[in-house]
Amino acid sequence: MKKIIVGVMGPGANATDLDVENAYQLGKLIAQAGWVLLTGGRNEGVMDAASKGAKSANGLTVGILPSSDTTTASDAVDIAIVTDLGNARNNINVLSSDIIIACGMGTGTAAEIALALKVNKKVILLNNNQPSKAFFHSLAKQQILIAENPIAAIELANQLLANLN
Amino acid sequence: MKKIIVGVMGPGANATDLDVENAYQLGKLIAQAGWVLLTGGRNEGVMDAASKGAKSANGLTVGILPSSDTTTASDAVDIAIVTDLGNARNNINVLSSDIIIACGMGTGTAAEIALALKVNKKVILLNNNQPSKAFFHSLAKQQILIAENPIAAIELANQLLANLN
Amino acid sequence: MKKIIVGVMGPGANATDLDVENAYQLGKLIAQAGWVLLTGGRNEGVMDAASKGAKSANGLTVGILPSSDTTTASDAVDIAIVTDLGNARNNINVLSSDIIIACGMGTGTAAEIALALKVNKKVILLNNNQPSKAFFHSLAKQQILIAENPIAAIELANQLLANLN
Amino acid sequence: MKKIIVGVMGPGANATDLDVENAYQLGKLIAQAGWVLLTGGRNEGVMDAASKGAKSANGLTVGILPSSDTTTASDAVDIAIVTDLGNARNNINVLSSDIIIACGMGTGTAAEIALALKVNKKVILLNNNQPSKAFFHSLAKQQILIAENPIAAIELANQLLANLN
């Protein structure tokens, strides 16, 4: 039976220390909730930290890789999906996630949020980037939820999942 | 020999009257400059209007369709590229364009801008949406150019093309 | 740590009774070996039967769906990857699988075998279709392995995995 | 208004001398018929030769590139579509072509033929590879047409186009 997948999207090399810390906590909490973690799969930044957090709590981790092999995958990814689609794989990240949490901000993350909004999905934002919050609110106010920290993000995820079912 | 391709990205059904008017002008000016117009190809909003503008000046129009056939293509598209990729085709729009002009704003357009910035491309913004300008500036200031009207957008395109060569 | 993924590719609605029976056995044997099963994810034919076989042995199943949601997913898929790529998703099936077993034959299966050979992967063929064996042998003899039944296919998979490591 | 697009699919570096000669003739005849030529766009083999043939008759050429930029594009491609999809772009080649001619044989070409048959498109085969003809006939007899030379292929294309309209 289909497992619940929570996607954590965020920067790779440009992630801040706080993004990485938050991502690790998110991954851990997602695993503790019994959900599958999905990320962009690479061995950097938010993708890597969230996957490691999930593994620290014995979770299951899926990585949707942009590349044509697994050489750049995070060691903490269990299921490596090799797409060879470059950034077009961002759309798969979004479509495959029952819940989407954007941790931090960057160009790839912004694309993922926009693609999620495009198909009427809700997105939980966890960052200190005011312009991003103002912009995505202006695009699709009903679909944007703001979390102040990882625990609040997971509470919002729980509420959204309750409404999905 | 490879022709210069100028991509005009913008909303479909949610385009404003001004977006549509601007898109038509952009298409016409692009054709008059001897460039190929590329859009998302559908028979709505900015895609349709830009293609019609280009055809009014005997230009060549390419449409990168998200669907699996050409039934939703604009009548003004000459070369219909059928991707069956859904919104993942947005990345092709961006990668195939030498110059990218975002006319209006919406979730799909935001995704295209973000994907362009991700691969270090410059984007010319033509809209009245202040939050989008503030946000994309905050993401990648050097890559964002603001145009007040279609003529200014084409002037910026000319400058960017001069620098590419 | 990355788990071993074995992909079982085969027809959907056009699968024969023998294909379906073989697929179920393959899924079961893959799960018993401790590997993850990957299929095209839909609720038909080889994809569905292999997934059910794997679940009968408490395996983990991944489905790479061509569609934009999970409505056509097999009930036996644990991890549903929603690609919205149509048949372009066949390339992901192939790239994500450490071992590829083609169970039965059809146009989609033929595309997957060809895409696997294109990137120098080996493919285990389990079918009674002589023209397919002759053709793929002629394309890439070294990469084609013939299995007479599911147990033989799994033995070949074991040998290939030993060589990969 | 949408132009007629004829796709010529065939090997790159592994094309035979006859494939290359045939591809050049096909490109030339396609251009003379007033159709747009579509290929996989790279500067090798059938893609390159067909594009050069079309340009020798002042045709318009489209190349659907697998790569993330145009550095590997044939000089004879006018409209370079940059997909960054790797071999997944083969599906776009097929879907965008009103008529598909497979010139020569190889793993990529086989994938394209199979993908075309999958969506019920007809394919004109121009090659000396008997196993491929036997196999694709066995898969979808009604959709496979055999041409002995480029002129015969173009005659078949004309007949198919007459039936499409």
C74 pLDDT tier (thresholds 50, 70, 90): very high
Distance (Å) from the alpha carbon of C130 to chain D's nearest alpha carbon? 8
Residues of D in contact with A84 (CB under 8 A): 85-88
pLDDT the model gives residue D164: 80
Tell me the shortest Cα–Cα distance from C158 to chain D, in angstroms. Answer: 25
Residues ≥6 apart with Cβ < 8 Å to A102: A9, A10, A109, A112, A113, A123, A124, A125, A126, A127
pLDDT at D47: 98
Nearest by CB to D77, which of B2, B81, B85? Answer: B2
ipTM exceeds 0.85: yes
Within 8 A by CB and 6+ apart from A19, the residues are A10, A11, A45, A46, A49, A103, A104, A127
CATH number at residue B98: 3.40.50.450
Residue A1 is assigned to a structural domain of this protein: no
Contacting residues of C for B84, CB less than 8 Å apart: 85-88
Instruction: Report the C-alpha gap between B41 and B26 in whole angstroms.
Output: 15
Tell me what percent of the residues of chain B surpass a pLDDT of 70. 99
Task: State the average pLDDT over residues C68-97.
Answer: 98
CA A35 from chain center: how many Å?
A: 13
pLDDT tens track for D82-95: 999 999 999 999 99
Give the C-alpha separation, A131 to A137, whole Å. 10
Neighbours of C163 (CB within 10 A): 8
- Mean pLDDT within C24-42: 98
The tokens 């619940």 sit on which residue?
A: A4
Q: Confidence class of residue D68 from pLDDT cuts 50, 70 and 90? A: very high
Looking at chain D, which subunits does it touch, using at least 3 CB pairs closer than 8 Å as the criterion?
A: A, B, C
The pLDDT of D12-23, averaged and rounded, is 98
User: CA-to-CA distance for A106 and D50, rounded, in angstroms?
Assistant: 42
Residues of chain A with Cβ-Cβ distance to B45 below 8 Å are none
Euclidean distance between CA atoms D79 and D96, whole angstroms: 14
CA distance B13 to B111: 17
Per-residue pLDDT at D163 exceeds 70: yes
How is residue C126 written in tokens? Answer: 């389990």
Chain A positions in Cβ-Cβ contact with residue B131 (cut-off 8 Å): 131, 134-135, 137-138
CB contact under 8 A, C107 and D140: yes
Contacts of C68 in chain A (CB under 8 A): 95, 119
The model's pLDDT over D28-67, given as tens digits with 9 standing for 90+, comes to 999 999 999 999 999 999 999 999 999 999 999 999 999 9
pLDDT of residue C81 exceeding 90, the answer is: yes
Q: How far apart are CA B121 and CA A155, in angstroms?
A: 38
Residue C29 lies in a domain: yes
Residue A139: its pLDDT value, please? Answer: 96
| CA nearest to B157, candidates B138, B165, B117 | B165
Interface contact flag, B111 A108, Cβ < 8 Å: no
Residue D39 pairs with which residues in a beta bridge?
D63
pLDDT at residue C70, rounded to an integer: 97
Measured CA to CA in angstroms, residue B7 lies from B135, D95, D110 at distances of 21, 22, 33
Residue C165: pLDDT over 80: no
Tell me how many degrees the CA angle D87-D89-D90 measures, rounded to the nearest 5: 75
- Tens of each residue's pLDDT in chain B, 165 residues: 899 999 999 999 999 999 999 999 999 999 999 999 999 999 999 999 999 999 999 999 999 999 999 999 999 999 999 999 999 999 999 999 999 999 999 999 999 999 999 999 999 999 999 999 999 999 999 999 999 999 999 999 999 999 886
Which residues on A lie below 8 Å from D84 (Cβ)?
Answer: 85-88
Q: Is residue B165 part of a domain?
A: no
Does the beta-carbon distance from B135 to A140 stay under 8 Å? no
Chains contacting B (3+ CB pairs below 8 angstroms): A, C, D
C162 is a domain residue: no
Number of domains in chain A: 1
Question: Which two structure tokens, joined as six digits, stand for B87?
Answer: 């919104």
Beta carbons of C86 and B88 less than 8 Å apart: no
**What is the pLDDT averaged over residues C68-89?**
98
Size of interface A-B (CB pairs under 8 A): 80
Residue of D3, D36, D68 with shortest CB distance to B95? D68
> Where does the pLDDT of residue D1 fall: very low under 50, low under 70, confident under 90, or very high at 90 and above?
confident
Q: Do B107 and A85 touch (CB under 8 A)?
A: no
Q: What is the mean pLDDT of each run of 10 residues along chain A (165 residues)?
A: 96 97 98 98 98 98 98 98 98 98 98 98 96 97 97 98 85
Two tokens, residue B129 = 């949406």
The span from the CA of C112 to the CA of D110, in Å, is: 10
* A98 chain-C contacts, CB cut-off 8 A: none
| Structural domain harbouring B46 | 5-150
Residues A49-89: pLDDT tens digits? Answer: 999 999 999 999 999 999 999 999 999 999 999 999 999 99
Radius of gyration of chain C (CA): 14
The per-residue pLDDT for A50 is 98
Read off the tokens for C102.
């083609």
Interface of C with B (CB under 8 A): 68, 84-88
Residues B90/B115, Cβ–Cβ less than 8 Å: yes
Closest Cβ–Cβ partner in B111, B131, B139 for A115 = B111
**Closest partner residue to A139 among B92, B107, B137, by Cβ?**
B107
Which residues in chain B are closer than 8 Å to A132, comparing Cβ atoms?
135, 138
At residue B165, the pLDDT reads 65
Chain D residues contacting B, CB < 8 Å? 1-3, 5, 36, 60, 62, 64, 68-70, 73, 75-85, 91-92, 95-96, 119
Chain B closest CA to A21's CA: distance in Å?
A: 21
Helix, strand, coil percent values for chain B (each to nearest 5): 50, 20, 30
Which residue on chain D is closest to A87 by alpha carbon?
Answer: D84
